[in-house]
Copies of this chain bind each other. A is one copy, B any other.
Amino acid sequence: MKIDPKSKADLSAQIAKAIRDSIISGDMDVDERLPSESELSEQFDVSRPTVREALKRLAAQNLIRTQRGATGGAFVRRLSYEEAYANHITTSTLLLSMNAVDFETACEARFALERACAPLSAQRRTPDQLATMRAEIHRQTQPGLSDESFCDSDVAFHRALVDGADNPVLSYQLAGAVEAMQPLMNMITFTQRNRDMIVGLHTRIADAIETHTAELADTALAELTSYTLELGQQAMAARAAKAPD
């Protein structure tokens, strides 16, 4: 592990990269202990604060954890599914908002991916997941439900659908598309008629998932896609009319 003195990057960034590479390459095993901060500062020939900055960078990426005390130190961390999942959603959301992805694009991606899950979900869904879907549908019919809560419930419904596929890789990738769309969905105002329509489609999806008929789920999802797209375009149009740039 050596660093390039010619590089103009920060020392802490270079050191972080060197250590990161040796973790990612599999050179270091999970729970293996890194040299202590003092040892690292000797090895890289920098001061301890610089080493610490490098380690904090790695900690921010969940690549290491640190522990105080005699047998403490920095340890290679097993990347937990839950953390990666949460991070993925944050990043996806940021990416959508900062780069101004339009509603159509996000919506299209979301439903395309969900339709990929539906057949698997129809095969494998547990009674539990089905019950969750039913419960969320019921929640969506509650009078006086705010638009935001309606959206929350919508996401919960679709997450149950996706999780029904019983494939963590799918759930992970889908989460980025489904959850990241929530801010965009929140710009829609749902009338009672809109909600009835959506609840109807959700019910058809749940029915199809219950009876293991992938085709019905797919057609209902297709209809939901175009309906959501429609609602989104209306919302965008209303927004544009109100605040023209």
User: A88 contacts B90, CB within 8 Å?
Assistant: no
Residues of B within 8 A of A173 (CB): 92, 109, 113, 173-174, 176-177
**A7 to B31 Cα, complex, angstroms:** 25
Task: Out of B49, B78, B99, B120, name the residue touching A112 (CB < 8 Å).
Answer: B120
User: If the complex has contacts A113-B170, A120-B108, A170-B109, are A95 and B101 also in contact, measured as CB distance less than 8 A?
Assistant: no
Residues of B within 8 A of A35 (CB): none
**A101 to B166 Cα, complex, angstroms:** 13
Q: Is A57 an interface residue (CB 8 A)?
A: yes
Interface string of A44-57 (1 = CB under 8 A from B): 00000100111011
CB-contacts of A176-221 with B (<8 A)? 176-177
22 contacts across the A-B interface (CB closer than 8 A): A12-B56, A24-B90, A24-B93, A24-B94, A26-B97, A49-B49, A53-B56, A56-B56, A56-B57, A57-B60, A78-B98, A79-B94, A81-B99, A101-B168, A105-B169, A108-B170, A109-B167, A112-B120, A112-B165, A113-B173, A116-B116, A173-B176
Residues of B within 8 A of A168 (CB): 101, 105
Q: Is A226 an interface residue (CB 8 A)?
A: no
**A183 to B76 Cα, complex, angstroms:** 20
- Copies of the protein in its oligomer: 2
Q: Is A3 an interface residue (CB 8 A)?
A: no
CB-contacts of A84-116 with B (<8 A)? 84, 87-88, 90-99, 101, 105-106, 108-110, 112-113, 115-116
User: B12 contacts A112, CB within 8 Å?
Assistant: no
Q: Is A224 an interface residue (CB 8 A)?
A: no
- Measured CB to CB, the nearest residue on chain B to A87 is B91
